[in-house]
Amino acid sequence: MSMILKIAKTTLVVLGALGLATGAFNAAHAGPYDAYKGTRLVVNFPAHPHYNAVMKVLPEFTKETGIEVEVDQLQYMKMREKQTLELTKRKGDYDLLAYVVFSKADYVYADQLENLARYFMNPRLSNPAYDAPDLIEGYVANIGIAGGHKGYLPGPTGSMFGLPFGSETSILGYRKDIFEKHNLSVPKTYDELLELACKIPQLEPGMGGLASRAASGHHASHAFLLHLSPLGGRIFDDAWNPIVNNAAGVQAAEALKTIVDCGAEGSRAFGFAEAGASFLQGRSAMFLDSTVFAGQVNDPSKSKVVGKIGWAPHPMGVRKGSQTGGFGIAIPKNAQNKEAAFLLMQWLTSKKADKLIALQGGNPSRYSTHGDAEVNAKFPHMKTFGEALKNADPDWRPIIPVWGKINADLGTTLSKILTEGADIQSSLDGVAERAKQIMQDAGYYTWN
Protein backbone atom coordinates (compact mmCIF):
# COMPACT_ATOMS: atom_id res chain seq x y z
CA MET A 1 0.00 0.00 0.00
CA SER A 2 2.70 2.45 1.08
CA MET A 3 4.62 1.50 -2.05
CA ILE A 4 1.69 2.46 -4.21
CA LEU A 5 1.35 5.75 -2.33
CA LYS A 6 5.04 6.47 -2.82
CA ILE A 7 4.81 5.85 -6.54
CA ALA A 8 1.74 8.03 -6.76
CA LYS A 9 3.50 10.81 -4.85
CA THR A 10 6.59 10.63 -7.06
CA THR A 11 4.43 10.72 -10.16
CA LEU A 12 2.66 13.77 -8.86
CA VAL A 13 5.95 15.52 -8.08
CA VAL A 14 7.32 14.67 -11.52
CA LEU A 15 4.13 15.79 -13.17
CA GLY A 16 4.17 18.99 -11.13
CA ALA A 17 7.75 19.70 -12.10
CA LEU A 18 6.92 19.03 -15.70
CA GLY A 19 3.98 21.35 -15.44
CA LEU A 20 6.16 24.11 -14.00
CA ALA A 21 8.72 23.59 -16.73
CA THR A 22 6.04 23.86 -19.40
CA GLY A 23 4.80 27.00 -17.70
CA ALA A 24 8.26 28.49 -17.74
CA PHE A 25 8.67 27.52 -21.35
CA ASN A 26 5.38 29.14 -22.18
CA ALA A 27 6.39 32.32 -20.35
CA ALA A 28 9.55 32.55 -22.40
CA HIS A 29 7.43 32.47 -25.57
CA ALA A 30 4.39 34.25 -24.18
CA GLY A 31 2.47 36.88 -26.14
CA PRO A 32 3.08 40.50 -25.18
CA TYR A 33 -0.20 40.67 -23.30
CA ASP A 34 -0.04 37.40 -21.31
CA ALA A 35 1.70 38.88 -18.28
CA TYR A 36 -1.10 41.43 -17.92
CA LYS A 37 -4.04 39.10 -18.49
CA GLY A 38 -6.78 39.78 -15.95
CA THR A 39 -5.43 43.26 -15.11
CA ARG A 40 -8.21 45.76 -14.67
CA LEU A 41 -7.39 49.22 -16.01
CA VAL A 42 -9.34 52.29 -14.97
CA VAL A 43 -9.35 54.98 -17.64
CA ASN A 44 -10.83 58.46 -17.80
CA PHE A 45 -12.40 59.47 -21.11
CA PRO A 46 -14.56 62.46 -22.04
CA ALA A 47 -18.13 62.23 -23.27
CA HIS A 48 -17.30 63.11 -26.86
CA PRO A 49 -18.23 61.60 -30.26
CA HIS A 50 -14.75 60.14 -30.73
CA TYR A 51 -14.75 58.45 -27.33
CA ASN A 52 -18.27 57.18 -27.86
CA ALA A 53 -16.88 55.39 -30.90
CA VAL A 54 -13.95 54.14 -28.80
CA MET A 55 -16.39 52.58 -26.33
CA LYS A 56 -17.71 50.37 -29.11
CA VAL A 57 -14.22 49.17 -30.02
CA LEU A 58 -12.86 48.60 -26.48
CA PRO A 59 -14.38 45.10 -26.04
CA GLU A 60 -12.16 44.05 -28.95
CA PHE A 61 -9.10 44.99 -26.88
CA THR A 62 -10.24 42.93 -23.92
CA LYS A 63 -10.95 39.97 -26.21
CA GLU A 64 -7.52 40.18 -27.76
CA THR A 65 -5.46 40.81 -24.64
CA GLY A 66 -7.41 39.64 -21.61
CA ILE A 67 -6.89 43.10 -20.05
CA GLU A 68 -10.12 44.54 -18.73
CA VAL A 69 -10.91 48.23 -19.03
CA GLU A 70 -13.23 50.23 -16.83
CA VAL A 71 -14.09 53.61 -18.30
CA ASP A 72 -15.01 56.70 -16.31
CA GLN A 73 -16.59 59.01 -18.90
CA LEU A 74 -16.94 62.65 -17.88
CA GLN A 75 -18.18 65.82 -19.50
CA TYR A 76 -15.03 67.23 -21.06
CA MET A 77 -15.13 70.61 -19.34
CA LYS A 78 -15.41 68.86 -15.96
CA MET A 79 -12.65 66.41 -16.76
CA ARG A 80 -9.79 68.77 -16.07
CA GLU A 81 -10.93 69.56 -12.55
CA LYS A 82 -11.34 65.91 -11.65
CA GLN A 83 -8.00 65.00 -13.22
CA THR A 84 -6.21 67.80 -11.42
CA LEU A 85 -7.40 66.34 -8.12
CA GLU A 86 -6.60 62.78 -9.17
CA LEU A 87 -3.10 63.67 -10.33
CA THR A 88 -2.12 65.31 -7.05
CA LYS A 89 -2.99 62.15 -5.09
CA ARG A 90 -0.19 59.84 -4.03
CA LYS A 91 -1.86 56.80 -5.54
CA GLY A 92 -4.09 57.64 -8.45
CA ASP A 93 -7.22 55.83 -9.53
CA TYR A 94 -6.65 56.33 -13.26
CA ASP A 95 -4.23 54.19 -15.24
CA LEU A 96 -4.78 56.13 -18.43
CA LEU A 97 -6.47 59.44 -19.06
CA ALA A 98 -7.57 61.50 -22.00
CA TYR A 99 -6.62 65.16 -21.61
CA VAL A 100 -7.67 68.32 -23.36
CA VAL A 101 -4.73 69.73 -25.28
CA PHE A 102 -4.13 72.76 -23.03
CA SER A 103 -3.84 70.53 -19.98
CA LYS A 104 -0.51 69.42 -21.46
CA ALA A 105 1.07 72.63 -20.23
CA ASP A 106 -0.11 72.07 -16.66
CA TYR A 107 0.28 68.33 -16.26
CA VAL A 108 3.71 68.05 -17.83
CA TYR A 109 4.99 71.10 -15.96
CA ALA A 110 3.74 69.66 -12.67
CA ASP A 111 5.53 66.40 -13.52
CA GLN A 112 2.32 64.39 -13.42
CA LEU A 113 2.57 62.45 -16.68
CA GLU A 114 4.87 59.55 -17.57
CA ASN A 115 7.53 60.24 -20.16
CA LEU A 116 6.74 57.68 -22.85
CA ALA A 117 10.39 57.09 -23.84
CA ARG A 118 10.92 54.32 -21.31
CA TYR A 119 7.90 52.46 -22.67
CA PHE A 120 8.85 52.81 -26.31
CA MET A 121 12.37 51.65 -25.36
CA ASN A 122 11.07 48.53 -23.63
CA PRO A 123 11.16 45.66 -26.16
CA ARG A 124 8.53 43.74 -24.23
CA LEU A 125 6.05 46.57 -24.47
CA SER A 126 6.81 48.43 -27.67
CA ASN A 127 5.33 46.96 -30.83
CA PRO A 128 7.81 47.20 -33.76
CA ALA A 129 4.90 47.39 -36.20
CA TYR A 130 3.49 50.51 -34.50
CA ASP A 131 4.59 52.83 -37.36
CA ALA A 132 4.85 56.11 -35.49
CA PRO A 133 5.61 58.25 -38.60
CA ASP A 134 2.08 57.43 -39.77
CA LEU A 135 0.66 59.41 -36.82
CA ILE A 136 -0.44 62.87 -37.95
CA GLU A 137 2.53 65.12 -37.37
CA GLY A 138 0.60 68.25 -36.42
CA TYR A 139 -1.37 66.32 -33.80
CA VAL A 140 1.72 64.67 -32.28
CA ALA A 141 3.48 68.03 -32.09
CA ASN A 142 0.50 69.85 -30.64
CA ILE A 143 -0.79 67.25 -28.21
CA GLY A 144 1.89 64.67 -27.52
CA ILE A 145 5.23 66.44 -27.21
CA ALA A 146 6.50 68.98 -24.71
CA GLY A 147 9.84 70.46 -23.78
CA GLY A 148 11.09 71.44 -27.25
CA HIS A 149 10.70 74.73 -29.09
CA LYS A 150 8.98 77.36 -26.89
CA GLY A 151 8.57 74.66 -24.27
CA TYR A 152 5.36 73.28 -25.69
CA LEU A 153 6.44 72.16 -29.14
CA PRO A 154 8.77 69.47 -30.50
CA GLY A 155 12.47 70.17 -30.88
CA PRO A 156 15.81 68.72 -29.89
CA THR A 157 14.97 69.07 -26.20
CA GLY A 158 11.42 67.76 -26.38
CA SER A 159 10.02 64.40 -25.48
CA MET A 160 6.74 62.60 -25.70
CA PHE A 161 4.17 62.54 -22.89
CA GLY A 162 1.00 61.56 -24.71
CA LEU A 163 -0.41 60.24 -27.95
CA PRO A 164 -3.00 62.14 -30.00
CA PHE A 165 -6.35 60.41 -29.65
CA GLY A 166 -9.59 62.12 -30.60
CA SER A 167 -7.74 65.08 -32.09
CA GLU A 168 -9.30 67.45 -34.52
CA THR A 169 -8.51 70.14 -37.05
CA SER A 170 -10.53 72.86 -38.75
CA ILE A 171 -12.30 72.26 -42.01
CA LEU A 172 -14.67 74.23 -44.21
CA GLY A 173 -18.14 72.77 -44.69
CA TYR A 174 -20.36 74.29 -47.38
CA ARG A 175 -23.80 73.79 -48.88
CA LYS A 176 -23.25 72.14 -52.23
CA ASP A 177 -26.81 72.90 -53.36
CA ILE A 178 -26.54 76.64 -52.63
CA PHE A 179 -23.11 76.87 -54.26
CA GLU A 180 -24.38 75.09 -57.38
CA LYS A 181 -27.58 77.15 -57.53
CA HIS A 182 -25.67 80.45 -57.65
CA ASN A 183 -22.68 79.07 -59.48
CA LEU A 184 -20.29 79.88 -56.62
CA SER A 185 -16.88 78.32 -56.31
CA VAL A 186 -15.55 76.93 -53.04
CA PRO A 187 -13.30 79.57 -51.40
CA LYS A 188 -9.62 78.71 -51.38
CA THR A 189 -8.33 81.98 -49.93
CA TYR A 190 -9.45 84.30 -47.15
CA ASP A 191 -10.38 87.05 -49.63
CA GLU A 192 -12.72 84.67 -51.42
CA LEU A 193 -14.10 83.37 -48.12
CA LEU A 194 -14.92 86.83 -46.74
CA GLU A 195 -16.43 87.98 -50.01
CA LEU A 196 -18.67 84.90 -50.17
CA ALA A 197 -19.63 85.17 -46.50
CA CYS A 198 -21.27 88.54 -47.18
CA LYS A 199 -22.52 87.73 -50.69
CA ILE A 200 -24.58 84.73 -49.64
CA PRO A 201 -27.03 86.68 -47.42
CA GLN A 202 -27.79 88.83 -50.47
CA LEU A 203 -28.27 85.84 -52.77
CA GLU A 204 -30.28 83.84 -50.26
CA PRO A 205 -32.24 86.27 -48.07
CA GLY A 206 -32.53 85.02 -44.49
CA MET A 207 -29.49 82.80 -44.78
CA GLY A 208 -26.21 83.66 -43.03
CA GLY A 209 -22.87 83.38 -44.82
CA LEU A 210 -20.56 81.52 -42.48
CA ALA A 211 -21.67 80.15 -39.11
CA SER A 212 -18.94 81.04 -36.62
CA ARG A 213 -18.60 81.00 -32.88
CA ALA A 214 -18.64 84.49 -31.37
CA ALA A 215 -19.93 84.20 -27.80
CA SER A 216 -17.92 86.04 -25.17
CA GLY A 217 -14.87 84.23 -23.86
CA HIS A 218 -13.43 81.00 -25.17
CA HIS A 219 -15.69 80.85 -28.24
CA ALA A 220 -14.84 84.30 -29.62
CA SER A 221 -11.18 83.71 -28.95
CA HIS A 222 -11.24 80.33 -30.67
CA ALA A 223 -12.88 81.79 -33.78
CA PHE A 224 -10.29 84.59 -33.90
CA LEU A 225 -7.38 82.17 -33.57
CA LEU A 226 -8.75 80.09 -36.45
CA HIS A 227 -8.16 83.09 -38.72
CA LEU A 228 -5.01 84.40 -37.05
CA SER A 229 -2.69 81.58 -38.08
CA PRO A 230 -3.58 81.45 -41.81
CA LEU A 231 -3.44 85.26 -41.97
CA GLY A 232 0.14 85.08 -40.74
CA GLY A 233 -0.32 86.13 -37.14
CA ARG A 234 0.68 84.72 -33.78
CA ILE A 235 -0.08 85.61 -30.19
CA PHE A 236 3.61 85.88 -29.21
CA ASP A 237 6.88 86.26 -31.07
CA ASP A 238 9.81 83.99 -30.23
CA ALA A 239 10.80 86.20 -27.28
CA TRP A 240 7.30 85.95 -25.78
CA ASN A 241 6.38 89.52 -26.68
CA PRO A 242 2.66 89.77 -27.43
CA ILE A 243 2.17 90.54 -31.14
CA VAL A 244 -1.54 89.87 -31.26
CA ASN A 245 -2.07 93.57 -32.05
CA ASN A 246 0.07 93.64 -35.21
CA ALA A 247 -1.37 93.99 -38.72
CA ALA A 248 -2.16 90.27 -39.00
CA GLY A 249 -3.96 90.33 -35.65
CA VAL A 250 -6.08 93.30 -36.69
CA GLN A 251 -6.83 91.59 -40.00
CA ALA A 252 -7.95 88.42 -38.19
CA ALA A 253 -10.25 90.42 -35.91
CA GLU A 254 -11.64 92.26 -38.92
CA ALA A 255 -12.23 88.93 -40.67
CA LEU A 256 -14.09 87.62 -37.63
CA LYS A 257 -16.20 90.77 -37.43
CA THR A 258 -17.07 90.58 -41.12
CA ILE A 259 -18.05 86.93 -40.75
CA VAL A 260 -20.21 87.58 -37.71
CA ASP A 261 -21.82 90.69 -39.21
CA CYS A 262 -22.76 88.70 -42.32
CA GLY A 263 -23.81 85.70 -40.24
CA ALA A 264 -27.25 84.36 -39.43
CA GLU A 265 -29.53 86.15 -36.98
CA GLY A 266 -28.20 86.07 -33.41
CA SER A 267 -24.73 85.04 -34.55
CA ARG A 268 -23.07 87.40 -32.07
CA ALA A 269 -24.01 85.05 -29.24
CA PHE A 270 -23.21 81.76 -31.01
CA GLY A 271 -21.15 79.16 -29.23
CA PHE A 272 -19.90 76.03 -30.97
CA ALA A 273 -23.27 74.30 -30.55
CA GLU A 274 -25.32 77.24 -31.84
CA ALA A 275 -23.05 77.81 -34.83
CA GLY A 276 -23.27 74.12 -35.66
CA ALA A 277 -27.05 74.10 -35.22
CA SER A 278 -27.39 77.10 -37.53
CA PHE A 279 -25.52 75.19 -40.25
CA LEU A 280 -27.42 71.94 -39.63
CA GLN A 281 -30.76 73.75 -39.70
CA GLY A 282 -29.88 75.27 -43.06
CA ARG A 283 -29.69 78.85 -41.81
CA SER A 284 -26.01 79.30 -42.72
CA ALA A 285 -24.30 78.35 -45.96
CA MET A 286 -20.82 77.64 -44.60
CA PHE A 287 -19.19 76.36 -41.42
CA LEU A 288 -15.53 76.64 -40.50
CA ASP A 289 -14.65 74.75 -37.36
CA SER A 290 -13.63 71.40 -35.93
CA THR A 291 -13.74 68.15 -37.91
CA VAL A 292 -15.53 66.53 -34.98
CA PHE A 293 -18.67 68.20 -36.28
CA ALA A 294 -18.63 66.23 -39.55
CA GLY A 295 -20.22 63.14 -37.99
CA GLN A 296 -23.53 64.96 -37.47
CA VAL A 297 -24.29 66.46 -40.88
CA ASN A 298 -25.73 63.30 -42.35
CA ASP A 299 -27.66 62.28 -39.27
CA PRO A 300 -31.31 63.00 -40.16
CA SER A 301 -32.27 63.32 -36.48
CA LYS A 302 -29.97 66.33 -36.09
CA SER A 303 -29.60 67.73 -39.56
CA LYS A 304 -31.87 69.21 -42.19
CA VAL A 305 -29.07 69.28 -44.74
CA VAL A 306 -28.39 65.56 -45.15
CA GLY A 307 -26.44 64.89 -48.35
CA LYS A 308 -26.07 68.58 -49.17
CA ILE A 309 -22.72 69.25 -47.50
CA GLY A 310 -19.34 69.37 -49.17
CA TRP A 311 -15.99 69.74 -47.40
CA ALA A 312 -12.87 71.68 -48.32
CA PRO A 313 -9.59 72.50 -46.56
CA HIS A 314 -9.39 75.61 -44.35
CA PRO A 315 -8.84 78.50 -46.82
CA MET A 316 -5.38 80.01 -46.88
CA GLY A 317 -4.33 83.57 -46.17
CA VAL A 318 -0.62 84.18 -46.42
CA ARG A 319 -0.09 80.57 -45.38
CA LYS A 320 -2.04 77.37 -44.96
CA GLY A 321 -2.74 76.63 -41.35
CA SER A 322 -5.66 74.77 -39.87
CA GLN A 323 -6.08 74.37 -36.13
CA THR A 324 -4.97 71.42 -34.06
CA GLY A 325 -6.68 70.46 -30.88
CA GLY A 326 -8.84 67.92 -29.16
CA PHE A 327 -7.55 65.18 -26.93
CA GLY A 328 -4.54 63.04 -26.26
CA ILE A 329 -4.05 60.05 -23.96
CA ALA A 330 -1.36 59.77 -21.33
CA ILE A 331 -0.32 57.68 -18.34
CA PRO A 332 -0.42 59.49 -14.99
CA LYS A 333 2.72 59.33 -12.85
CA ASN A 334 0.63 57.99 -9.98
CA ALA A 335 -1.04 55.21 -12.01
CA GLN A 336 -1.14 51.69 -10.61
CA ASN A 337 -0.80 49.68 -13.84
CA LYS A 338 1.44 51.74 -16.06
CA GLU A 339 2.72 48.98 -18.34
CA ALA A 340 -0.71 47.59 -19.09
CA ALA A 341 -1.90 51.17 -19.62
CA PHE A 342 0.85 51.67 -22.19
CA LEU A 343 -0.26 48.51 -23.97
CA LEU A 344 -3.78 49.90 -24.10
CA MET A 345 -2.70 53.30 -25.44
CA GLN A 346 -0.47 51.66 -28.03
CA TRP A 347 -3.31 49.39 -29.09
CA LEU A 348 -5.84 52.22 -29.27
CA THR A 349 -3.58 54.28 -31.55
CA SER A 350 -2.44 51.32 -33.65
CA LYS A 351 -3.38 51.16 -37.33
CA LYS A 352 -5.93 48.45 -36.67
CA ALA A 353 -7.78 50.18 -33.82
CA ASP A 354 -7.55 53.61 -35.47
CA LYS A 355 -9.42 52.19 -38.45
CA LEU A 356 -11.97 50.35 -36.28
CA ILE A 357 -12.66 53.55 -34.36
CA ALA A 358 -12.89 55.62 -37.56
CA LEU A 359 -15.46 53.18 -38.92
CA GLN A 360 -17.52 53.78 -35.78
CA GLY A 361 -17.40 57.55 -36.38
CA GLY A 362 -14.29 58.55 -34.42
CA ASN A 363 -11.52 60.96 -35.48
CA PRO A 364 -8.55 59.01 -36.77
CA SER A 365 -5.01 59.91 -35.64
CA ARG A 366 -3.21 58.38 -38.62
CA TYR A 367 -2.64 59.42 -42.22
CA SER A 368 -3.20 55.82 -43.39
CA THR A 369 -6.69 55.71 -41.89
CA HIS A 370 -7.65 58.91 -43.71
CA GLY A 371 -6.61 57.26 -46.98
CA ASP A 372 -8.14 53.88 -46.20
CA ALA A 373 -10.59 52.68 -48.88
CA GLU A 374 -13.04 51.11 -46.45
CA VAL A 375 -13.13 54.22 -44.24
CA ASN A 376 -13.59 56.47 -47.28
CA ALA A 377 -16.40 54.30 -48.61
CA LYS A 378 -18.28 54.97 -45.37
CA PHE A 379 -17.13 58.57 -44.81
CA PRO A 380 -16.18 60.13 -48.18
CA HIS A 381 -14.99 63.34 -46.48
CA MET A 382 -12.07 61.49 -44.81
CA LYS A 383 -9.76 61.97 -47.79
CA THR A 384 -10.26 65.75 -47.78
CA PHE A 385 -9.62 65.77 -44.04
CA GLY A 386 -6.40 63.81 -44.56
CA GLU A 387 -5.23 66.37 -47.13
CA ALA A 388 -6.17 69.27 -44.85
CA LEU A 389 -4.26 67.69 -41.98
CA LYS A 390 -0.97 68.02 -43.83
CA ASN A 391 -1.25 71.74 -43.09
CA ALA A 392 -2.37 71.37 -39.50
CA ASP A 393 -0.55 74.03 -37.47
CA PRO A 394 0.54 72.84 -34.02
CA ASP A 395 1.46 76.39 -32.99
CA TRP A 396 -1.82 78.15 -33.81
CA ARG A 397 -2.22 78.99 -30.11
CA PRO A 398 0.31 78.89 -27.29
CA ILE A 399 0.03 76.00 -24.83
CA ILE A 400 1.40 77.65 -21.70
CA PRO A 401 -0.03 77.63 -18.16
CA VAL A 402 -1.12 81.30 -18.24
CA TRP A 403 -2.94 80.86 -21.56
CA GLY A 404 -6.28 80.38 -19.80
CA LYS A 405 -6.15 83.90 -18.45
CA ILE A 406 -4.93 85.55 -21.65
CA ASN A 407 -7.47 83.55 -23.65
CA ALA A 408 -10.32 84.75 -21.41
CA ASP A 409 -9.24 88.37 -21.77
CA LEU A 410 -8.87 88.00 -25.53
CA GLY A 411 -12.32 86.39 -25.67
CA THR A 412 -14.11 89.14 -23.76
CA THR A 413 -12.29 91.86 -25.68
CA LEU A 414 -13.26 90.31 -29.00
CA SER A 415 -16.82 90.04 -27.78
CA LYS A 416 -16.77 93.79 -27.15
CA ILE A 417 -15.46 94.34 -30.68
CA LEU A 418 -18.22 92.17 -32.10
CA THR A 419 -21.14 93.41 -30.03
CA GLU A 420 -20.29 96.92 -28.94
CA GLY A 421 -18.29 97.99 -31.97
CA ALA A 422 -15.14 98.67 -29.93
CA ASP A 423 -12.15 99.85 -31.97
CA ILE A 424 -10.15 96.83 -33.11
CA GLN A 425 -6.62 98.24 -32.93
CA SER A 426 -6.94 99.82 -29.51
CA SER A 427 -8.80 96.79 -28.11
CA LEU A 428 -6.05 94.43 -29.27
CA ASP A 429 -3.43 96.85 -27.93
CA GLY A 430 -5.14 96.45 -24.57
CA VAL A 431 -5.00 92.65 -24.83
CA ALA A 432 -1.29 92.81 -25.70
CA GLU A 433 -0.56 95.13 -22.82
CA ARG A 434 -2.40 92.97 -20.28
CA ALA A 435 -0.86 89.81 -21.75
CA LYS A 436 2.56 91.36 -21.31
CA GLN A 437 1.83 91.95 -17.63
CA ILE A 438 0.58 88.38 -17.16
CA MET A 439 3.69 87.02 -18.90
CA GLN A 440 5.88 89.28 -16.79
CA ASP A 441 4.30 87.98 -13.58
CA ALA A 442 4.73 84.40 -14.79
CA GLY A 443 8.46 84.97 -15.33
CA TYR A 444 8.66 84.83 -19.13
CA TYR A 445 10.95 87.87 -19.29
CA THR A 446 13.43 86.68 -16.67
CA TRP A 447 16.14 86.35 -19.32
CA ASN A 448 15.50 89.64 -21.07
Partner 1 sequence: MKSSSLNKLTPYFFIAPAGLVLALGLLYPISYMMYASFLDWNPSQLIGEADWVGLKNYSTLWQDYAFRESLWVTLKFAFSVVLIEMILGLSLALLLDRNMRGMSALRTIFILPMMIAPIVVGLMWRYMYHPSIGVFNRTLNSFGFESIPWLSDSTWALISIIIADIWQWTPFIFILCLAALQSLPRSTLEAARMDGANAWQQAFYIKIPLMMPVLIVTLLLRLIDAFKVLEVILVMTNGGPGLSTEIIALRISRTASEFRELGVAAAMSNYLLILLLLLTLSMFLYNRFIEQHRAKSFNAIGKTSP
Nearest approach in angstroms of CB 217 to partner 1 is 6
Binding-site member from 415, 428, 432, 444 for partner 1 (CB under 8 A): 415
Q: Does 268 bind partner 1 (CB under 8 A)?
A: yes
- CA-CA distance, 103 to 107, in Å (whole number)? 6
- CA-CA distance, 208 to 276, in Å (whole number)? 12
DSSP label of 208? E
Asked whether 392 and 324 are in contact (CB, 8 A), the reply is yes
- CA-CA distance, 328 to 326, in Å (whole number)? 7
Q: Does 69 bind partner 1 (CB under 8 A)?
A: no
Q: Does 296 bind partner 1 (CB under 8 A)?
A: no
Task: Pick the closer one to partner 1 by CB: 268 or 308.
Answer: 268
Asked whether 241 and 435 are in contact (CB, 8 A), the reply is no
Q: Does 107 bind partner 1 (CB under 8 A)?
A: yes
Nearest approach in angstroms of CB 99 to partner 1 is 12
Nearest approach in angstroms of CB 72 to partner 1 is 19
Nearest approach in angstroms of CB 302 to partner 1 is 16
Which span sits near partner 1 by CB under 8 A: 21-29, 127-135, 265-273, 385-393? 265-273
Task: Pick the closer one to partner 1 by CB: 264 or 331.
Answer: 264
Query: What does the per-residue mask of binding to partner 1 show for 186-205, with x meaning CB under 8 A?
Result: --------------------
Closest CA to 309 of 330, 329, 288, 338: 288
CA angle 65/369/171 to nearest 5° reads: 130
Binding-site member from 23, 31, 266, 307 for partner 1 (CB under 8 A): 266
| CA–CA distances in Å: residue 374 to residues 57, 60, 165, 170 | 17, 19, 20, 23
Nearest approach in angstroms of CB 177 to partner 1 is 21
Q: Does 84 bind partner 1 (CB under 8 A)?
A: yes
Task: Pick the closer one to partner 1 by CB: 109 or 367.
Answer: 109
Buried (b) or exposed (e) across 113-149, using 16+ Cβ within 10 A?
Answer: bbbbeebbeeeebbeeeeeeebbbbbbbbbbbbbbeb
Count of residues near partner 1 by CB under 8 A: 34
CA angle 251/254/258 to nearest 5° reads: 140
Q: Does 419 bind partner 1 (CB under 8 A)?
A: yes
Closest CA to 333 of 157, 115, 124: 115
- CA-CA distance, 113 to 342, in Å (whole number)? 12
Binding site for partner 1 (CB under 8 A): 80-81, 84-85, 87-88, 106-107, 109-110, 112, 215-217, 264-266, 268-269, 283, 401-402, 404-405, 407-409, 412-413, 415-416, 418-420
